[in-house]
Amino acid sequence: MIRYVLPAILLAAALPAQAQSPDTTPLIERAKIFGNPSKSGGRLSPDGKWLSWIAPRDGVLNVWVAPASDPSQAKPLTEEKSRPIRTSFWSPDSKVLMFIQDKGGDENFLLYGVDVASGKQTNYTPFEKTRVKMVKISTKIKDRILIGINNRDPKWHDVHSLDLATGKLTLVQQNDGYGGFLADDMLNLRLAEKPRGDGGSSFYRVADGKVEAKPVVEVGLDDSQTTGPRGFTTDGKTLYWIDSRGRDTAALMAQDVASGKFTMVAQDKRADITDGLFDTRTGKVQAYEAEYLQHEYLPLSADLKADLAFLKKNIKGQFYIGSRTDADDKWLVSVDQVSAPASTWLYERKSKRLTRLYVVRPELEGAPLAQMYPQEIKSRDGLTLVSYLTLPKSVNAAGTGKPSQPVPMVLLVHGGPWARDSYGYNGYHQWLANRGYAVLSVNYRGSTGFGKGFISAGDLQWGRKMHDDLLDAVQWAVKNGITTSDKVAIMGGSYGGYATLAGMAFTPTTFACGVDIVGPSNLFTLLQTIPPYWEAGKQQFYKRMGDPTTDEGKALLKERSPLNFAENIQRPLLIGQGANDPRVNVKESDQIVAAMAAKNIPVTYVLFPDEGHGFARPVNNIAFNAVTENFLGKCLGGRAEPIGGAVKASTAQIKHGAEFAPGLQEAIQ
């Protein structure tokens, strides 16, 4: 998932700014952090002849292409006028650049392709209320790919073969209740996954277009987030799995297809193995990826070991290997130094040569960006919460990660909740630290990456033990002199927005204020309005959140819904929402604002009519963050760039409470 009258007692909750030395760190313009990147999303064509990326065209992110031998000869291939293109990828024959796009954040993503030679753009899935799903792009079959389309039944994606030259769609497999299909490199469907009533999954062989009746692999609820097939080798004889069955952290396993036997390839007892690097010609695994405190590659083959050692020696910071040519002679490598903008490099394997292609945000080069510090925080019941702390440079001059004096803090909660925070450059951390706040992001129980036990510890714990973890992290920060208990704000999107509402309603005096972005306020109505194409995961939602079809589940969901405790909210709250959000319906924000307004409790509500689950258009994101930093400035006493014309330049509608956000009324007049 799954981002009236003010009572006197609430005015008293706006605490005075903490006395401290003036922060002389230059203020970074928020547009430099949240505006369009100069370039991002670089891809090499499979044949190595072309280089593509996403960059602004007339102020909107579009797809560009250039000869790999001369990137200066770039030209735009698309001309989106309002909604940014956020991801693109190459056809296997290197003739077409493909991308997905929705309308106004509704997440009904359609598939488009642009012929590199002619510039002709084709909508491959011209259907209404349809969401495309990639099934398989082969390295062997170049003229077609497999995609899933839910235009027949919105709950299930039928598998089609897409002829890239003609755009013709041919039905391969009608889907009557399967969560997904796995194909081999010859584009033959080989495996089907079906959701179970207990929240787990059954996997079935597919042969000659028919799904066998008896499952070959069973996965229970506890393993459902950490077990699944990764892909076949090119010859189709080996199937790799990420698999936590029989262990806590997910291991990389190789299954011999003929015998069904599983062999462990690699395991990390600290963290789940999340993926691997696979030979582009054979499909055999060459390295695996694990992330505990930081991301790392661990080599499994001699040839890749030398490459990874070279990159580690010659790159400052974390690196991520992106696209690789079919010949595997060239790679694109993304570099993340945390306190510098990310960059993308061309790595030529034979000559061991690295060439910088671009910096994602060159306007941030030389800016006073802050370092991030991984932390291991103990919860009250003994779990280890991997967390990430960023401090204002003004109190971390020595670079030790320990502030010279306490500062106000923003607890920044990730969404999901079945996701995780990671080490690396984070625009929100940089922005808030530059404004004078410590920023703490916590992998609370239920977060992924730390084993199935850690995920399952969050089952049925929304607003309870998951929230306790956040409170424990705040206490850790106070105890370690990072902040003071009266100067902590909570902020987040999606589940992080829920955590914000829960913090304000369930522990109303813990946080000085809160910022909720697309957060659900009523868990019962949230589960009633999830998109139809989430049908495969519905039982897992019920088992991990609460089952709305049972009396016990209804009672639990009611008890954990901040809406039902809105009258308890005492501190200032800012809410941002996209009107077209298919995950967290706009009513989730509407109803808690209405409940607070009915009780004369101050809340500011900003709605964007052209957004969904989060704010994709930079002009809208900048506008909401302009309101946010001035809101936090009043609440915590940090610095703020004036709102200026940011809100007027966006589509923001101030639905309620402009008077409670400093500078907002003036900005919209």
Angle, alpha carbons 467-471-476 (nearest 5°):
145
Q: 3-class DSSP state for residue 162?
A: strand
Look up residue 638 and give its DSSP letter. -
Q: What are phi and psi of 667, to 5 degrees?
A: -70, -25
d(CA 148, CA 420): 27
E strand or H helix at 656:
strand 653-656
Q: 3-class DSSP state for residue 274?
A: strand
Give the residue among 232, 239, 243, 285 at the shortest CA–CA distance from 267.
243
Q: Which residues have a Cβ under 8 Å from the Cβ of 538 and sit 6 or more positions away?
A: 195, 530
d(CA 245, CA 239): 16
Q: What is the CA radius of gyration of the chain?
A: 25
How many residues comprise the chain? 669
Beta bridge partners of 348: 330, 353
Show which residues are catalytic.
Answer: 494, 581, 613
Look up residue 15 and give its DSSP letter. P
Beta bridge partners of 490: 411, 514
Q: What is the dihedral of CA 409, 411, 412, 418, to 10 degrees?
A: 160
d(CA 360, CA 320): 14
d(CA 563, CA 506): 10
- Burial string for 180-194 (b: 16+ CB within 10 Å, else e) reads bbbbbbebbbbbbbb
CB 662 within 8 A of CB 630: yes
Q: Which residues have a Cβ under 8 Å from the Cβ of 438 and sit 6 or more positions away?
A: 389, 390, 391, 392, 403, 407, 408, 409, 410, 477, 482, 483
